[in-house]
Structure formats: C-alpha cells, structure tokens
Structure 1
Amino acid sequence: MRQGDGHGAGLLVTGTTSDAGKSVITAGICRWLARQGVKVAPFKAQNMSLNSVVSLDGAELGRAQAMQAAACGIEPAAEMNPVLLKPGGERTSQVIVHGRALGEADAVSYRDYTGQLREAALEGLTQLRKDYDAVICEGAGSPAEINLRPTDIANMGLARAARLPVLLAGDIDRGGVFAALHGTVALLEPADQALISGFVINKFRGAPELLDPGLRMLRDLTGRPVHGVLPWLDGLWLDTEDSLALSADRGEARPPVGEQTLRVAVVRFPRISNFTDIDALTVEPGVDVRFVTQPQELGDADLVVLPGSRATVADLAWLRRQGLTEEIARRAAAGLPVLGICGGYQMLAREIHDDVESGQGRVPGLGLLPATVRFAAEKTLGRSRGTAYGHPVSAYEIHHGQFDPEPGASSAEPFLDGYRDGSVYGTTWHGALENDAFRRAFLSDIARQAGRSFTPAADTDFAAEREARLDALGDLVQHNLDTDALWRLLESGPPTGLPVVPPGGAS
C-alpha cells in the first residue's frame, strides 16, 4: 500500500462536531486494516485533551491515540500525536510538542506557535508514512470551524498539505445529520471540498433502509457517496478523549459476584484529567461507578476517588466551594476509604506549594495525608513498575507535583509510589487499576473497610476486555462500511472531479 513517493497511504477521518465518533471510527479502521495484515498506525496532528499517556521513551501523547495504537497492535509514540493541548484555565492550555511541554498559551498567543506546530505535525505524519504502510489520521472538532481555518493543522490544513482523502462522519443520534454533513462541505473552500471523499453516518438506531431517501438526496446534493451507516452499539469505547463524552456511568451495569455491590463515587472536577483511570473499575462485575459533584452524592459511597486534575489548586478551590471537602474529611475520620490519583493525591496533602501551575504559592491542602507537595517546573513523565498487596503493578506518571513526607509521620505507610494513612490512599500512578491482581486485592481491602460483603470476580481481565472492544470496532467497520471504497481511497487518494457544493445548496 505504498504510494508512488514511497510513503505509506493516508486517510483522514473528520467529523461534523466534537464527539461525532472520529476516535472510534479511526480505531475501527486501524483494527480492520491490522487484521488484513497491513502495517498501520494512527495519527492526530493536534489533540486537545486532558487524557494522556506516556510512551516507552517518556513522551506524552493523547490517550485516544494510544488506544488507536493498541488497535494497530503497536506501541504508542509521540509521532502519533505531535501536538497536544491540555486546557488548564478558561482561556489557556499547556502546549506539548513531540511529547514535551513548551509552555502555556491562550487563544491569542497560540497563533505565535502556528508555524512551529504545523511543522511538528507534518514531521510526525511524514515519519509515520515512512515507517508504516498506512496511516489513519483523526481530525479535531469540525473542519467547518471556518474562523480557525487559517491556523488549522488538524483538519483540512493537514489534508491539503499531505493530499489526504477525507471521510466526514456525522452523529445521527444528535439529529440533523444530513444538514450537518451537507453544511460542513458547503462551508469549505473549493480546494478543501476537493478532498472530502465521502461520508459516514454514525450511531444509527433503527432499520438502515429508512435512511435511503436521505442518503440518495445527500449524494445528489454533494456528488459524494455515503460509505456506510454505523449502528449504535453501547460499551464500545473505554478511552474517551475528553469530558464531553463523560457520562454519569462509564460502563454497563453488571451483577455482583458476591452478596453486595461496591459503590464508587468519582469526583468530577471542572478540569478532570485522566479519568480513564476509572475504566478498569467499570468493567468489574458488581462495582457501581458514578461521577459526582455534590456532597450528598457521596453519602452511600464505599470508595470516593479524587482523580487527576490539570489545575490542582483551582479544582481544590472548587472542591471547597462545593462543600465536598467537609464530607470527604468526615468519611476519612470514620475510616471510610478515599483514593487520590495524581492531582487528587496532591489535594490530600497538608500543604501545596505551587509557583508553576497556578502561581498561587502556598495553599492549604485537605490535610488527610502527612506530606507537602511542591510543584517542580519540569514535568515528571515515565513508565513505572512496582508491587502492592504482593502483586506486580505497571503504570505511568504525568505530574509536576513532588511529595515530601513529613518527618516522623509513623501512621503513613507506602502505597504504590505514594502513601496510605488509615483509610486514605494516594498515588501519582495512572493506570494502576488496570492491573487485574492488584485491582482485586485493592477492592477486597476497600470492601472490608467499608463493611461490604463484596467479592471481586476472579477472572476479570481488563486487557482482554479492551482487546474485545477493539475487535468489536474492527467488526463494526468490516460489516458496515464500504471497505472496497476505503481500499480505493488508501491506494489512489482523493477521487478526481468532485463537484463544488455552493453555500446556497445545489451542486
């Protein structure tokens, strides 16, 4: 599948909106190609997400691209997501290029980075196309965000630079999918329209033949085919890209293995990050996971989780305004379990010294763990290994905060890379709960402290669950998309002679 220039084939999946299914469709195409024996890799030029992972060589990239890499059967690498933006405030984001943080930028100063980011994106794609037979690219937001077109490097800007055929996906479950697909094309300038090679309709519930009149009209109006209709299927995707796709329940309800259900309440911070740490709990039978924002929602929880945060000090202030701190402290005093992960762990300390992320200097923490947190200018990035409850644990770290335990704090004991004091646990390690034996032992310990007759399933295999979902995505593509058309786009590029769709409608 090499093109005439010796580079691997390329295809860009865009969407009419955020959460239209770009990540899922990209992963499904990757899985389908990998099962055909194609050496394939994912790519997203620019990702805005608070969910990230660390590659083997210590580079930070979006978690969705790591999941797509798993669909390809390969390790994630910085080239797959050369630009990552991590929002920290209402107007600013941390800019990460080739896996390393460059600094903070707002909407205005971001324009100063445009040339550098465009170069980084094209470098990443070029390298992948040298190394792989096919690269399936994912767009960001919508290509019809015409106010951002001059600085676009993720959608039509990338497609134009690399001459990529583009699939445009629309979410029919939101309603208005035909207007969204047609309107997106019509808003693009002719040179961009020339690369829009076909449509995919996503999340359809019902009999596909009911769509036929609309599909025919869409083709007549745009001169472009619909390459398939993907049915609505629950529980396909674990690693959602951002909190827009975060529902109150991250998984399917499963019956308990023992006598009772274990109830987990995860605090949904305004700037919650790496909430994918909780995914392993959602596939555990008998564990009920819900995201909460109010003190009364913690009342019957057996475990409260403070997850990661991109803005630890700001989200700690929000926690106080919500009245959640008093309820968390009451629970800890009563011996009910609380787990802090990364930013949530930092909040549990006695004091936080932050001249880096928030610039607020010394801030009181929740005081539930005997330690002080000091923010370092250099971010800690890496893969980690250790043991807990007698079981091996592999994880990864992404944090500025460094922990200094208080001298003589005899009540604290090690927990992963962090500490446990009574019923309060803290760690910077992301992904630790994906380790099956450790997760079972931890949940058993939580159930004992909470007084629950709960027994974790003995055979839950999170890695196998993830692989099964990736296979389901591959099946979704294989059985519902025109794969012959996908092959043609990969082998030959955008079709020639596609009509221009004027803003008024008729082509």
Structure 2
Amino acid sequence: MRGGGLLVAGTTSDAGKSVVTAGICRWLVRQGIKVAPFKGQNMSLNSFVTREGAEIGRAQAMQAQAARVEPSALMNPVLLKPGSDRSSQVVLMGKPVGEMSARGYHGGRQQTLFEPVMACLEELRGTYDAVICEGAGSPAEINLRRTDIVNMGIARAAKLPVVVVGDIDRGGVFAQFFGTTALLAPEDQSLVAGYLVNKFRGDVTLLEPGLDMLHGLTGRRTFGVLPYAHGLGIDEEDGLRVSLRGTVRESVVAPPVGADVLRVAVCAVPLMSNFTDVDALTAEPGVIVRFVDRPEELADADLVVVPGTRGTVKALAWLRERGLADALVRRAAEGRPVLGICGGFQALGERIEDEVESKAGVVDGLGLLPVRVRFGVEKTLARPVGEALGEQVEGYEIHHGVADVRGGEPFLDGCRVGSVWGTHWHGSLESDGFRRAFLREVAAAAGRRFVPAPDTSFGALREEQLDRLGDLIEEHADTDALLRLIEQGAPEGLPFVPPGAP
C-alpha cells in the first residue's frame, strides 16, 4: 500500500477527532504500516516546534508521536493562532505570515492556501503508506464550504473516504450524524463512508437498534463504538476559550511517595497557550494541578504557574483586574514559589515594550524578575537544550518577546530570584530529572514533605496513553473495514440523503 488515506471528520468541535486520528495512527503503525497524520488547517494556541524550526499544532505533534514519526510542517501547513475573537496570526509552513481578521481570511486568503495544503498532503501520500487526516469543527459548516481547505474540500480533491466521529456523551449523536450527512452536497456525501461513536458509557447492545435505524436512514454503517476512556491526558488543541474553573488534573499514577501532596495553581490567563506544559507535573505521584482565576485560590498552592499566552499585555491587565497580580507579589515577598513560562515569564518582569502583539507601547510588568522585554516582528522558534538544577533539560521556544535579563541566577535562558523562576522554554518539565529537581526545590520552599517518585518517566507515560488509543481502535472498531477504506476509498453507490428525509 502506498498513498492510502482517510479523513476523520467530526459532528462538532471536540467530538474526538484528534484522539481518534492518533488512535488510528498508533494502530496502523503497530501493523507495520508507515503512516503519517495531517491537518490542513488548525486553529490552536497549543503549538509545538519541529526539529527544523517550524511551528505546528501540538495535536499533530502528538499524532506524529502516535505514528512513531518525526513531526513536520507538512503535517499541519496552516496554523491559526487566535489573538482575539475576530483575528488570528496565520502560520504557513511553520512560519508566521501576518495577522488577519476572520472575515479577511475566509473572504479570500484561505482560498490561496488550498494549493500549498494539497501539495503537502500529496507529498505525504507519496512518502507514506497511509495518511490519516483530521478535519476541523464539522464538515457541515455550510457557510464555509466554498473556501474549505480542511474538511470536504480536501476530501473531494484528494478522493479521501470520510468517517464522521460523534461524541455520544454530549447527547443527540444520531441527529448529529444524520444532520451532518444531509447538509452535505451529493459529491461530498459520496465520500462519507460511515460513522464512529465516541465516549460511550454503558451496555452497547442498548445502542445497536439506533445504529441499525441510522443505517436505514443514511445507507451508511457505523465502524465502531468507542467507550469513554478516563485519564487520557492527551494534548488539547483549542486554547482560544478555556473555561477551567474547578478543573483539577491529578496524578493517576500512584499515591505520593512522601508524606505530603504538592498543590499547583495555574493562572488561567486570557489567550492561554501551551497550557500542556503543566501536564508533566501531573505525571508525578501526589501532584495536584488546578486552573484558577481568583486570588483566594492561590492561598493553599505550593507552586503558582503563570503560563504562556498569546496576549502578554492582556494577561497582565487580567491579573491586575482579578487581584491575582497583588497575590503573586505577596507570594514572592513571602518566599513562596512562582514559575512564569514564556508570556508568564514576560509578565513577571519589570517592563514590556510592545508595538507588535498588543501595540500598547511601554507597559509595567509585575517587577518580580529583573527582566525587560521588547516585542519584535520576528518570532523565535527554537528547540533549545541546556542544564538547570544540575540536570539536562530540553524544551522549545515560541515567542515574539526578546528578554533582556539584568540580574538574578541564570535559569533556562531566563532567571531566578529567590523562589521566583522565569523562562521562555516550553516543555522543560517533560525532562524527568529536571522536573524532579525542580519539585524538590518547590517542596523545600513550601515546607512540604513531598518526595518526587524516582522512576517516573513522562515519555513512557505518554507512550502508554498513545497505546491506549491504539487499543481503543483495535478492540472497538472494525479495523478490517477501516483498512479497506484507507486502501480503496469510499464504497461505490452510497445513497444521497436529502435534508429532512425522513
């Protein structure tokens, strides 16, 4: 097989397209099939830097890991990074090419990107046995179909069969499957081979009559019913609007090794980006991570993280309006640990000069670190390697702000003053030895009898999670039928479903 393909579409955003795509990639590679993921256009504030210095969505980097291949800009040629509800930075082949309003993008620019998107897909299909493509949102966004470069637009151009994923845990999945199909043009419907039910709880035999009725209404089969899987911990894609009140990420590995647990509070700043940085903390037994937006929620935190953001100046204003800025200043004065990552690091500094991102000019930071930041037009995209706390560290950088560090102890190209740390490096906590050393310092400063587990491997845990996704596909989907779709395309003679048909 060479150049086979499949598009995993969804009835809605967050239906499970990313994890299903990753699961199919992991299942295929375990069968000895050389496979790559692909998403023509992604909208996300959670991104990653490839080894060649290209910025792509973290979901595609995760899918590449599932496929056991190196991530590449070919796998996500267009990345949109929202800066507000109405505008985004456009990243093409891993490099930013400018800011654009949603109207301007969908009104013309998007159409010019169709050819480079298709060229990337065809290059992957010429290199790999199979390419598993992920759609975006829903293929039935009829207002956007004319300029579509991620759903049925590429499916029709590349003659890809389509499987539609629906989240049954939300309710209404049968209406979603039928409505999605019925809203498509006949040429698009001819590529929709069937459906995958995601996040099912309970006795599947109770669902089967509905699946039979859906087949009767649409002429399309269901390729599997995937059970609800707890604790998957897979990278999330959408960072524009994150409502995280009450969200707690706890270690699912084991009880704490020491006598105490360690509590981490993450400030849920506006346009939060790469909040996946804290996932490595939850790999440690006895670490609890909460996303917070009120100063009183910092009271019992042993560590507060100010994460990355697409809007540093906006995040600073938010911290001040919420009273979190004053709470962070008090923490620092009391010697209680604070970690700023990327935009969070910039916010902890003395001053920001920004004529690029917010165009706000000179803005005072929180003054917790001796750092001044100037935003430049050029974006730093890098994969640095270094040492901190006596341990080797790897990370990645994605930022327009250039930091002028004027004091403190060196810390991953940033600095440390007392119990306040700041760095532009994302992903540093995934380095196991460094993470344990850092948590020991935090525990000592917080007065906790917390001991990091000596053998926790974040990389190994991530591999286990990806294998779980592969197992879900292998055990609960009709893999023979999926493989036929990938090799042969959609079946001939699939019926047209007119809107409102029964």
- With the shorter chain as reference, the TM-score category is over 0.9
Which residue does the alignment assign to 1:493? Answer: 489
Q: 2 CA distance for matches of 1:114 and 1:90?
A: 18
Which residue does the alignment assign to 1:242? Answer: 238
Q: 1 CA distance for matches of 2:119 and 2:368?
A: 46
Q: Contact 1:55 / 1:61 at 8 angstroms: preserved in 2? A: yes
2:52 pairs with 1:53: no
CA displacement 1:69-122 (0-9 Å, x = unmatched): 000111100000000000011211000000000100111211331232212211
Q: Contact 1:19 / 1:245 at 8 angstroms: preserved in 2? A: no
Instruction: Tell me the CA shift for residue 140 of structure 1.
Output: 0.3
CA displacement 1:5-43 (0-9 Å, x = unmatched): xxx111000100111000000000000000000010000
CA RMSD, Structure 1 to Structure 2 (Å): 1.1
Q: 2 CA distance for matches of 1:245 and 1:374?
A: 27
CA displacement 1:253-279 (0-9 Å, x = unmatched): 552110001000001112000001011
Q: What is the SS of the residue equivalent to 1:250?
A: strand
Q: Contact 1:45 / 1:81 at 8 angstroms: preserved in 2? A: yes
Which residue does the alignment assign to 1:268? Answer: 268
Q: Contact 2:385 / 2:393 at 8 angstroms: preserved in 1? A: yes
Q: 1 CA distance for matches of 2:54 and 2:294?
A: 36
Instruction: Tell me the CA shift for residue 246 of structure 1.
Output: 7.1
Which residue does the alignment assign to 1:334? Answer: 334
Q: 2 CA distance for matches of 1:42 and 1:73?
A: 10
Bigger drift between 235-244 and 67-76 goes to 235-244
What amino acid does structure 1 have at the position aligned with 2:162?
Answer: V
Q: 1:169 aligns with which of 165, 172, 184?
A: 165
Q: Contact 1:168 / 1:200 at 8 angstroms: preserved in 2? A: yes
Q: 1 CA distance for matches of 2:91 and 2:83?
A: 13
Q: 2 CA distance for matches of 1:249 and 1:28?
A: 25
2:11 pairs with 1:36: no
Q: 1:150 to 1:251 in 2, by over 3 A?
A: farther
What amino acid does structure 1 have at the position aligned with 2:235?
Answer: D
Which residue does the alignment assign to 1:65? Answer: 60
Which residue does the alignment assign to 1:427? Answer: 423
Alignment of 1:397-436 (within 5 A): 397-406=397-406, 409=407, 412-436=408-432
Q: 2 CA distance for matches of 1:250 and 1:168?
A: 29
Q: Contact 1:256 / 1:285 at 8 angstroms: preserved in 2? A: yes
CA displacement 1:120-149 (0-9 Å, x = unmatched): 211110111111110000000011111111
Q: 1 CA distance for matches of 2:243 and 2:398?
A: 21
Q: What is the SS of the residue equivalent to 2:178?
A: helix
Instruction: Tell me the CA shift for residue 251 of structure 1.
Output: 4.3
Which residue does the alignment assign to 1:188? Answer: 184
What amino acid does structure 2 have at the position aligned with 1:71?
Answer: A
Number of equivalenced pairs = 497
2:359 pairs with 1:322: no
Q: Contact 1:235 / 1:251 at 8 angstroms: preserved in 2? A: no
Q: 1:158 to 1:384 in 2, by over 3 A?
A: same
Q: 1 CA distance for matches of 2:243 and 2:428?
A: 20
Alignment of 1:68-467 (within 5 A): 68-110=63-105, 111-243=107-239, 248-253=247-252, 254-406=254-406, 409=407, 412-467=408-463
Instruction: Tell me the CA shift for residue 344 of structure 1.
Output: 0.3
Q: 1 CA distance for matches of 2:234 and 2:67?
A: 16
Q: 1:97 to 1:467 in 2, by over 3 A?
A: same
Instruction: Tell me the CA shift for residue 249 of structure 1.
Output: 2.1
What amino acid does structure 2 have at the position aligned with 1:65?
Answer: Q
Q: What is the SS of the residue equivalent to 1:369?
A: coil
Percent of aligned positions with the same letter in both sequences? 63
Q: Contact 1:24 / 1:237 at 8 angstroms: preserved in 2? A: no
What amino acid does structure 2 have at the position aligned with 1:342?
Answer: C
Q: 2 CA distance for matches of 1:258 and 1:269?
A: 32
Query: Where in structure 1 do 4 or more consecutive aligned residues deviate above 6 Å?
Result: none
Point out where structure 2 has 5 or more consecutive residues left out of the alignment: none
Q: What is the SS of the residue equivalent to 1:358?
A: coil
